[in-house]
Amino acid sequence: MNYLFIIQGEGRGHLSQAIALREQLEKEGHVVVKAFMGESPARIIPIYAREIFGKGLSTFRSPNFIKTRDKKGIRPGLSILYNLLFTPVFIYSIFLLRKEIRKKEYGCIVNFYDMIGGLAVGLSFTRKRTITISHHYFLVSSFFDLPRGYFLSKFFLKLHSAICALGSSEIRALSFTFHSNIDGSKLRITPPILREEIFCQEIRRQGFILVYLLNSGWIIEIENLAQKFPDTKFKIFTDNIPLQHSVLNNISFFEPNQGVFLKELAACNSLITTAGFESQCEAAFLGKIVYTLPSKNHFEQVCNALDGRRAGISLAFENFIPLSKTISSENEIFRKWCLSGHK
């Protein structure tokens, strides 16, 4: 069967899921003919995405978050106003994707939680099998207790999730833990979709701490941590590496690179991450301690961090211990859950 992918470009997690699913589908003899990925002036499409999908990768303009001045999080209100100014551009993107979706060569559409993609599917009135995939659908399900308060954030999370799933025949909620599906529901609780390379890594513990920061403003917190533990090396992967690198000898910086990051992840003692679902999954599968540092004002990441703690695979950044070898008893259960979805 021929597939069309629509990928949300914010962050790296949805792209990682798309790459992993493409690997699985191709092993089964299917073909991902085309992948459309959302982009904006503030968001760079990773080089490795173009290398993997090649000429099959196209882009479309999609909404993005406005970051805080300290680059530690997002400004939700300003982001909404900013994106409203580009409504005509987004309407063009919707109809661009709608035209692609209606082409006969695609037997199945997979939307990796993109709002423009959801609207395009909804307006295409196609009877093609359409699957929407994201951890967000677990967060808005009855299996997860959203944190108290955050009333407006909860509303927008549920609204955004509903828009992304417009026209979908199946919704896959990626989860850290197993839960039975609800009879008669489109919702399917499924294991994380991990890249093939994860299963081939040689797991080691070389004593250093790996750091992945979606928002580079958190570098100052890592520098403070590095000062407290001068004998521990910190390797930081982030976009927008500061021009003036840290003068601390135990810190080094890297630009996001899929192959290099996974090798370093397999070799580190633990991972500090800005609470992405995918990064927590990859580290936990490799038996690493995970510490989450959610981006400011980013409700999704607050929920990701809470869910990681609920599942027993991550800890709050405040509880950081550099050379801890304590791995949760839930980790082996998590590995088996991940392997159950690996073909």
The model's pLDDT over 171-214, given as tens digits with 9 standing for 90+, comes to 999 999 999 887 778 999 999 999 999 998 888 888 899 999 88
290: Cβ contacts below 8 Å, ≥ 6 apart:
270, 271, 273, 279, 280, 283, 284, 308, 313, 314, 315
Determine the residue type at 111. Answer: N
**Which CATH number does the domain 197-340 belong to among 2.130.10.10, 3.20.20.10, 3.40.50.300, 3.40.50.2000?**
3.40.50.2000
Local confidence band at 246 (pLDDT 50, 70, 90 cut-offs): low
Local confidence band at 243 (pLDDT 50, 70, 90 cut-offs): low
pTM of the model: 0.92
Local confidence band at 11 (pLDDT 50, 70, 90 cut-offs): confident
Give the residue ranges of DSSP H helices in the chain: 13-27, 47-53, 76-84, 87-101, 115-124, 136-139, 151-164, 219-228, 258-267, 277-285, 299-311, 330-340
Mean pLDDT of the chain: 89
214 within 8 A of 276, measured Cβ to Cβ: yes
Local confidence band at 324 (pLDDT 50, 70, 90 cut-offs): low
Tokens 């677990």 sit at which residue? 138
Distances (CA, A) of 342 to 20, 27, 189, 193, 261: 10, 11, 15, 8, 21
Tokens 């797991």 sit at which residue? 203
The token pair that represents 12 in the structure block: 């790296």
In percent, how much of the chain has pLDDT > 90?
61
Q: What is the DSSP string of 95-131?
A: HHHHHHHT-TT-SEEEEES-HHHHHHHHHHT--SEEE
Q: What is the DSSP string of 60-91?
A: EE---PPBPTTSSBB-HHHHHHHHHTTHHHHH
Fold designation for 2-190: Rossmann fold (3.40.50)
User: Which residues of the chain form CATH 3.40.50.2000?
Assistant: 197-340
Q: Decide if pLDDT at 309 tops 80.
A: yes
Q: Decide if pLDDT at 255 tops 60.
A: yes
The token pair that represents 296 in the structure block: 């400011």
Q: Decide if pLDDT at 328 tops 60.
A: no
For 16-41, how does the pLDDT look when each residue is reduced to its tens digit (9 = 90+)? Answer: 999 999 999 999 999 999 999 998 87
DSSP 45: P
Determine the residue type at 95. Answer: F
Tokens 């039975």 sit at which residue? 180
Question: Which of 113, 79, 23, 43 lies closest to 341, judged by CA?
Answer: 23
Tokens 């100014």 sit at which residue? 85
178: Cβ contacts below 8 Å, ≥ 6 apart:
189, 191, 337
Lowest mean pLDDT, pick from 36-45, 103-112, 193-202, 332-341: 36-45
Alpha carbon distance 84, 210 (integer Å): 37
Strands 129-134 and 209-213: unpaired
Rounded average pLDDT over 251-271: 88
In percent, how much of the chain has pLDDT > 70?
95
Q: Decide if pLDDT at 244 tops 70.
A: no
Identity of the highest mean pLDDT range in 150-154, 181-185, 338-342: 150-154
Phi-psi region of 29 (alpha: psi -120 to 50; beta: other; left: phi over 0): left
